[in-house]
Structure 1
């Protein structure tokens, strides 16, 4: 690509970014109602009214950005079979780094066989909320196994990981309370805090001292305080000093919630997550949250904790009481994956070795991997949304599937490719990917 063409693309990207920022701000702002709109609404088609919404303008501008920059969308590609360390798209096999099956259980023969048996026994759906008519033995078996893993009184499984955070925070906290979270916390945590009506504040990423100083100033203004952090951050691949965060929580009399969506099966010698990695007793964390769609090869989320907590959620959380129960076959899949994880710690060791390999080789090649610790998630920061999309498509042409992350999901200067490493990746696949990246970046690899 010539210098002139590259400059043209950069200018076009900046112009579209400004438009997207305005559309995003308009979508977020409540705005005053226009009394004339109701009077003329019947004269405008529903399609036109949807198209006029600022949310649709966001989508339109994102599509326009790709078209103007001549970058094919890397999203919503159709995988034709089991997506693991490799996958098949449009009849071609790719090395796959866009996959959360960290220990390779999504497609594992043992997990698949038990899932099929559960379908034969229970059918395909719980068909109703568990509190009404949807309970199956496998639900409680999974919850008991997770409670045992976390050394807690009990556990409750939800049908969606995102909904777990939203409904749990919304149920437990409200006006007069404070939810304080890491600045890079997942959208589900932000949405839960927003819906709860509690005051929401953030602190600098992984900065327990900033949290301590914040709570020292404001703790006395609130009834209950929830501190929400993650076990492994899926954008950056780093993790907090859990010991320090527990100390801050205890000093200020708050509740600590740890989202282990990406750390269960990844951190710790046997995959028990951040508490094993940091040597912290389970009871020092009040709400252990996790998902079943990654290491546990199923779908849904869970909360593990003391009995009063789980009892409240079981009877009062709308995302549980008014939602269909987790499909029994998916509960069985996650139960099987959990049992296999505990029986085969060598998978965890292999995953961690592969992650270290990727991080070491990428840094040796001069690639910017940010603050990643090399546990399953390694970003390669491009510094430009255009470059992230172009690199993703170039790698795809070379038979490597990886997803770009760009504005507004991250700041423009933090645009990146995000590599998810699994225990099933072979060392040569990792080396191949790093060499291809280095070529794109104009780096020499020895």
Structure 2
């Protein structure tokens, strides 16, 4: 089951699953042009009504009044924040802002067109060279969206004669790319190399090409794969290994270079490194790092690159500056990991189930009931702490949770405050 990310349907189910009965009758005789007849539209409307009836506030689309870091202002209210990917506190850093402002003054706010046609700017090449160095790769390519990067690359790389063997918790963007490709999909249980090998061995011979697809740091659970085992497996079965490092860069390894650094594995373990610019790198977009042959082929044929506008120059400059600061200031990575370990230990000491979190940057608190997860998020918000509930169908019922994203900017006293607040909230909300 692919369960990462909150689609509109998932948000509807999160609220609507909590209670039964009521709701509007199914539309009858609706014309084909009626948007209310679209898939899940009725469920979304019903969930909204049920949430209002049971006094459940909508935990999504919160209006932040400024930079969302370790602290934020939501609708004018100062809050301790655990719902941001600003892992190293570089979003809003004056040096990152200045880099973006200088690129804005020089190049304007947009690349205006596809880089192939008329949108190339030197700052793109500078960012791509820095990303390639981080992964020990020959080349890198940046695109305007992390989600679109996976959709376009996987959808373009594979076809109906090919095979994808993937972790069952892989991101929605990867799932959409696989669907677009038409390749055969085989999921294996989360972080289970033995099952992955059985799946790959059993199906590989019947397909032209094969892709083994995993993440470096899973955002729902804070878990990591055994990279060396997946590397060896891919090579035994003549498959490409692709690693989505959206939440690994900046969070794993002594200097934040990712899962390969954390596990002491050569970065050539993966044939394709994918990542985002919107988390640690304080920008927007996605990237691919790999061999020169791969990146050159993508640069000239990838629909999501060739037919899409180039990354805005200010965003490229911000990401390049943030990556350089990550390299120059490794204390940020050290402090992030120390904060995460401290917070995880504080929650465990209070009896909370933190799942398989490795202490990189993500700590789930598994609560079981979807209703309880939302109620606890409300209680936390009332105490000035912003944390998101994750419930069915994003996770199976019984695995609902609060998901805490840590930052190097959190103070130890704030972590202790949040752990104590969650303990109080849990005592007030029945299991």
- TM-score normalised by L of structure 1: 0.89
Tell me the equivalent position of 1:177. 162
Tell me the equivalent position of 2:255. 270
Tell me the equivalent position of 2:71. 86
Q: Does the 8 Å CA contact 1:13/1:69 hold for their aligned counterparts?
A: no
SS in 1 for 2:147: helix
Tell me the equivalent position of 1:13. 18
In structure 1, C-alpha distance between the alignment counterparts of 2:186 and 2:242, rounded to whole Å: 15
Shift of residue 16, structure 1, vs aligned partner: 6.7
Tell me the equivalent position of 1:242. 227
In structure 2, C-alpha distance between the alignment counterparts of 1:374 and 1:12, rounded to whole Å: 31
In structure 1, C-alpha distance between the alignment counterparts of 2:106 and 2:375, rounded to whole Å: 48
In structure 1, C-alpha distance between the alignment counterparts of 2:200 and 2:215, rounded to whole Å: 19
SS in 2 for 1:54: coil
Q: Does the 8 Å CA contact 2:16/2:43 hold for their aligned counterparts?
A: no
In structure 2, C-alpha distance between the alignment counterparts of 1:275 and 1:59, rounded to whole Å: 41
In structure 2, C-alpha distance between the alignment counterparts of 1:16 and 1:222, rounded to whole Å: 48
Tell me the equivalent position of 2:300. 315
Comparing both structures, which one devotes a greater share of its residues to helix? 1
Match of 2:349 among 364, 370, 394: 364
Shift of residue 312, structure 1, vs aligned partner: 1.2
- Computed over aligned residues only, the root mean square deviation of the Cα atoms, in angstroms, reads 1.9
Match of 1:199 among 176, 184, 189: 184
2:99 counterpart of 1:137: no
- TM-score normalised by L of structure 2: 0.92
Between Structure 1 and Structure 2, whose CA radius of gyration is higher?
Answer: 1
In structure 1, C-alpha distance between the alignment counterparts of 2:190 and 2:50, rounded to whole Å: 30
Shift of residue 180, structure 1, vs aligned partner: 1.2
Q: 5 Å matches for 1:417-436?
A: 417-436=402-421
In structure 1, C-alpha distance between the alignment counterparts of 2:17 and 2:234, rounded to whole Å: 47
Tell me the equivalent position of 1:355. 340
SS in 1 for 2:233: helix
SS in 2 for 1:210: helix
Q: Does the 8 Å CA contact 2:16/2:47 hold for their aligned counterparts?
A: no
Q: Does the 8 Å CA contact 2:143/2:304 hold for their aligned counterparts?
A: yes
Tell me the equivalent position of 1:225. 210
416-425 vs 59-68, which deviates more?
59-68
In structure 1, C-alpha distance between the alignment counterparts of 2:182 and 2:46, rounded to whole Å: 32
Match of 2:135 among 143, 150, 156: 150
2:362 counterpart of 1:377: yes
SS in 1 for 2:73: strand
Measured against aligned partners, the alpha-carbon deviations of 1:119-154 in whole angstroms (never above 9, x if no partner) come to 111111111111101100000100011111111110
2:327 counterpart of 1:342: yes
In structure 1, C-alpha distance between the alignment counterparts of 2:21 and 2:193, rounded to whole Å: 37
332-341 vs 88-97, which deviates more?
88-97
Shift of residue 272, structure 1, vs aligned partner: 0.5
Shift of residue 11, structure 1, vs aligned partner: 11
Q: Does the 8 Å CA contact 2:228/2:269 hold for their aligned counterparts?
A: no
Q: 5 Å matches for 1:118-133?
A: 118-133=103-118
Shift of residue 55, structure 1, vs aligned partner: 2.5
Tell me the equivalent position of 2:390. 405
Task: Flag the 1:223–1:118 CA change in 2: closer, same or farther, 3 A.
Answer: same
Shift of residue 283, structure 1, vs aligned partner: 1.4
SS in 2 for 1:294: coil
In structure 2, C-alpha distance between the alignment counterparts of 1:137 and 1:403, rounded to whole Å: 39
Tell me the equivalent position of 1:213. 198
Task: Flag the 1:379–1:16 CA change in 2: closer, same or farther, 3 A.
Answer: farther
Length, aligned pairs only: 411
SS in 2 for 1:359: helix
Measured against aligned partners, the alpha-carbon deviations of 1:310-362 in whole angstroms (never above 9, x if no partner) come to 01111111111111100000000000000000000011000000000011000
Q: Does the 8 Å CA contact 2:140/2:288 hold for their aligned counterparts?
A: yes
Shift of residue 214, structure 1, vs aligned partner: 1.2
Q: Does the 8 Å CA contact 1:385/1:406 hold for their aligned counterparts?
A: yes
Tell me the equivalent position of 2:12. none
